[in-house]
Structure formats: C-alpha cells, structure tokens
Structure 1
Amino acid sequence: MFHPPFCPRFGCPSAERDLAFRYRRSGSYHRKCDGRWIQRFRCLVCHRGFSTQTYRANYRYRKPFLHHALVHALCSKVTRRQAARLFGVNKKTVERRFVRM
C-alpha cells in the first residue's frame, strides 16, 4: 500500500514541522487513459487533496504509456517527426516529452 511521504502542495505548513506527515485516504477515481483506479488522499494540515498520481513522473499526462514508447523509439534513432507519426500524436507533443526527459 502506498504511503505519501509529504504533502505535495506548495506552502503547506506540514512541511515546516518536524512531526510525521498526517493524511487520510479520501476515496479513489478511475483514470480514463488506462482504466486504473487511483487512490486519493487529504492532508490533515492544509485540508487539500492529492493522489498517488501526483508523485509520478507522468503526472498530468493524458497518454502516460507514450513515455516508454518514445524513449525506446528515440534511442533507436527514430526522428521526432517520425515518432509523432508512429504514435499518432502531434510533433509538438513529442518535442515536449523529449525536453522533459
């Protein structure tokens, strides 16, 4: 089971304290892109919500599966324009992912 290490929200007072991070599970939601259920949490200090997805490298991606496919394609000397054609995305999407890698 996942235990969030800290509150991901900027300015949360729980980051300044030396006490253990306090949170509560707060339901879950169904992710559209791959059908997985994602656990939600609520910080008991700032009362803001977050999820397990907040801590992942592919946070806010609509197509998280694309990251590994792009890494493999670009390491195989596929051009960015060709990678965009292969995966059916805009070439600017490939550019943004390439910069973020």
Structure 2
Amino acid sequence: MFAIVTIAGQQFKVEEGQEIFVHRLEAKAGDSVSFDGVHLTSGDAGVTVGTPNVKGWSVGATVIDHVKGDKVVVFKKKRRKGYRVKNGHRQQFTKIKIDSIAG
C-alpha cells in the first residue's frame, strides 16, 4: 500500500516503514507527527483519488533526526572587473519514518 501525501509543502509517495528526508519540521526527535493532506491511496481495495484530499485518511510518522544536506556553493564572477563572491548554503532536513497509512 502506498499514498501520495503533502508534507511541508512538497508531495511524496510514501509506504509504511519508509524513511524519507523532508524540509525541516517543528518537532523534536522521537515525536510522532500526522499528515492529513493525503491526495491518493492505493492498496488491496484499489486506488482512491481525492479532490484534492481523500477524506478520513492520514499518514502517521515518527521524527528520527534533524540533519543538514550537502553544501551548495554559489559562485558569482564578472570577468575583467575583479568581482568575485563565493557563498555556500546547507539546507536543513528532518528524517522521518512512515509508521502508518490509515483511513
């Protein structure tokens, strides 16, 4: 069984037991979180598509850890002008484990 759910503004295809990285959530490690924005479910009973959400369905997950992604280097240069700027960025993610897809 799988579901398509909106988590932190992005849509993910999730299955029970799956571990995914999502944008930073305001929850501590070990907390349980629930997501109600389920757009599609698929299982033994067939496929259910919501308009836009499937009523009564939710996805339960547990926060495992907060981590940072790989560094993205932003380098700007204008030739023959002596202008060089180097910046970096590391996106903050939350690793969650999908516990249940229930409806």
> The TM-score by the shorter chain falls in which range?
under 0.3
Report the TM-score, using the length of structure 1 for normalisation: 0.25
Greater relative CO (CA pairs within 8 A, separation 6+) = 2
Report the TM-score, using the length of structure 2 for normalisation: 0.24
Which structure shows the higher strand fraction? 2
Mark the structure with the bigger radius of gyration: 2
